[in-house]
Amino acid sequence: MVLQGGPADRVTTTSGAQRAPGSRGGRRPTLASVAELAGVSLKTASRVLNDEPNVAAPTRAKVQDAAQRLGFRRNAVAADLARGGSSRLVGFVTGDLANPFYSALASGIERELRHHGLQLITTSSDEDPERERSLTEALVERRVGALVVTPTSTDHSGLQPELDGGLPVVFVDRPAQGVDADTVVIDNRGGMRDAVTHLLAHGHRRIALVGDESRLWTFQERREAFVATLREAGVEDPDRYVRDGAHDAELARTFVTELLALPEPPTALLTANNKITVGALQALRDVGLGTGADAMPGSRRVALVGFDDFELADLLHVTVVGYDVVEMGRKAAALAVSRAESPELPPRLVVVPTRLLVRGTGEVPVAAQE
Spans of all domains in the chain: 11-82, 89-185+325-352, 188-323+356-369
Which positions ≥6 away from 84 have C-beta within 8 Å? none
Contact of 207 with 230, CB cutoff 8 Å: yes
CATH number of 11-82: 1.10.260.40
- The architecture (CATH level 2) of 89-185+325-352 comes to 3-Layer(aba) Sandwich (3.40)
Whole-angstrom CA distances from 59 to 46, 54, 64 are: 12, 11, 9
Give which of 270, 211, 280 is closest to 250, Cα–Cα. 280
In angstroms, the CA 220 to CA 242 distance is 12
Same fold for the pair 11-82 and 188-323+356-369? no
> Could you tell me the sign of the dihedral formed by the alpha carbons of 321, 326, 327, 331, in that order?
positive
In angstroms, the CA 216 to CA 153 distance is 9
In angstroms, the CA 260 to CA 265 distance is 5
The upper half-sphere exposure of residue 27, i.e. CA atoms within 13 Å in the direction of its Cβ, equals: 15
Local confidence pLDDT in tens for the 370 residues of the chain: 222 233 333 222 233 333 444 443 446 678 888 999 999 998 898 888 877 888 999 999 999 999 888 887 665 544 543 444 457 899 999 998 888 899 999 999 999 999 988 999 999 999 999 999 999 999 998 889 999 999 999 899 999 999 998 899 999 999 999 999 999 999 999 999 999 999 999 999 999 999 999 999 999 999 999 999 999 999 999 999 999 999 899 999 999 999 999 999 999 999 999 999 999 999 999 988 766 544 444 456 899 999 999 999 999 999 999 999 999 999 999 999 999 888 899 999 999 999 999 999 999 998 644 4
In angstroms, the CA 122 to CA 103 distance is 9
Whole-angstrom CA distances from 162 to 89, 156, 337 are: 16, 11, 16
Radius of gyration of the chain (CA): 28
Contact of 219 with 212, CB cutoff 8 Å: yes
- Cβ neighbours around 157 below 10 Å, total: 11
Q: What integer pLDDT is reported at residue 291 of this predicted model?
A: 63
Give which of 256, 364, 209, 251 is closest to 301, Cα–Cα. 364
In angstroms, the CA 29 to CA 25 distance is 10
Q: What integer pLDDT is reported at residue 297 of this predicted model?
A: 46
Q: What integer pLDDT is reported at residue 84 of this predicted model?
A: 45
In angstroms, the CA 352 to CA 337 distance is 19
Q: What angle do CA 281, 264, 210 make, to 5 degrees?
A: 40
In angstroms, the CA 146 to CA 168 distance is 5
> Could you tell me the sign of the dihedral formed by the alpha carbons of 150, 154, 158, 159, in that order?
positive
Which CATH homologous superfamily contains domain 188-323+356-369? Response regulator (3.40.50.2300)
Which positions ≥6 away from 351 have C-beta within 8 Å? 185, 186, 187
Whole-angstrom CA distances from 308 to 67, 102, 219, 312, 335 are: 50, 12, 12, 12, 23
Give which of 168, 4, 5, 172 is closest to 87, Cα–Cα. 168
